[in-house]
């Protein structure tokens, strides 16, 4: 019987939210099939056409009010509670900007690509919840600068958030699990190599093999709402 993992690090991508009705990025009808990421998910794109970028994020933010966490999100919330109850830890690093992990009970959560439900002021740095649409006409409630508010998300070419915390957790993990990501965006896609170098086994739970499937020591394929709850039940001895 292998020892029960005590320090689990999980990386999620848009695939875990797919069955909640949130679009993935690179599937055939995904976000990047409809938009050019250089126009809507880069600082250059925002500088060139802020109204387009605000429309892109306003539409996705509005969409969040009609989706709910699915069985995979809830299973990860249960996993964290169960592992913490037996003195361990679960660190959940998500590339997703939706709030479905929080709504499903996950607590130790690092949004490395930001959160669509928050705004950031490019002038004073203030970050706060923003339920409504953002626009260039809006002034920052702190520094009162107009036109400086942007979505609190990490664009291509920008430094992901919480990298120190993420790499610290990976360095002391005894299990690394990647769920619902194509493994095509770095540095997130490099985390499995960081975990393997630290000596941890690495498992991929995905609809199909990702671009870095060969780097994992174990894998299970199928819809997240099926394979994630089954894996959590096994781990918690349910």
Which span sits near ligand BV8 by CB under 6 A: 3-11, 102-110, 119-127, 204-212? 204-212
Q: For residues 181 and 190, what is the distance between their CA atoms, to the nearest angstrom?
A: 12
Q: Which residues contact 226 (CB under 8 A, 6 or more apart)?
A: none
- Please select the residue that binds ligand BV8; options are 1, 159, 199, 237, rule is CB under 6 A: 159
| Segment contacting ligand BV8 by CB under 6 A, of 1-9, 79-87, 132-140, 185-193 | 185-193
Tell me if residue 32 falls in helix, strand or coil: helix
Token duo for residue 133:
């649409």
Least Cβ distance, residue 190 to ligand BV8 (angstroms): 7
Q: Report d(CA 21, CA 64) in Å as an integer.
A: 9
When asked if residue 172 is in the footprint of ligand BV8 (CB under 6 A), the reply is no
54 has catalytic annotation: no
The interface region with ligand BV8, picked from 16-24, 76-84, 99-107, 119-127 by CB under 6 A, is: 16-24
Assign 1 to helix, strand or coil: coil
Q: Which residue from 229, 231, 234, 238 is spatially nearest to 104, judged by alpha carbons?
A: 229
Number of residues that bind ligand BV8 (CB under 6 A): 36
Q: Within its chain, how far is the Cα of 60 from the centroid?
A: 15
Binding residues for ligand BV8, rule: CB under 6 A, are: 13-15, 18-19, 24-27, 30, 41, 95-97, 113, 153-160, 180-182, 184-187, 206-208, 210, 223-224
């Amino acid at each position: 019987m292998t020892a029960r993992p005590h320090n689990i690090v999980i990386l999620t991508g848009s695939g875990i939210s797919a069955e909640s009705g949130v679009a993935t990025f690179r599937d055939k009808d995904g976000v990047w099939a409809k938009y050019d990421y250089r126009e809507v998910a880069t600082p250059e794109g925002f500088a060139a056409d802020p109204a387009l970028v605000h429309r892109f994020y306003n539409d996705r933010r509005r969409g969040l009010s009609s989706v709910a966490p699915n069985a995979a999100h809830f299973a990860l919330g249960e996993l964290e509670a169960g592992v913490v109850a037996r003195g361990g830890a679960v660190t959940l690093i998500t590339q997703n900007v939706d709030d479905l992990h929080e709504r499903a009970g996950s607590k130790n959560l690092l949004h490395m690509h930001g959160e669509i439900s928050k705004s950031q002021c490019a002038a004073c740095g203030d970050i706060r919840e923003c339920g409504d649409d953002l626009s260039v006409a809006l002034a920052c409630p702190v520094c009162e600068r107009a036109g400086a508010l942007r979505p609190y998300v990490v664009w291509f070419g920008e430094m992901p958030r919480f990298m120190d915390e993420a790499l610290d957790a990976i360095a002391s993990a005894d299990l690394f699990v990647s769920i619902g990501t194509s493994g095509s965006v770095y540095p997130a896609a490099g985390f499995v190599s960081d975990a393997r170098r630290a000596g941890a086994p690495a498992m991929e739970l995905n609809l199909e093999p990702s671009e870095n499937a060969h780097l994992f020591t174990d894998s299970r394929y199928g819809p997240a709402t099926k394979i994630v709850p089954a894996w959590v039940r096994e781990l918690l001895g349910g």
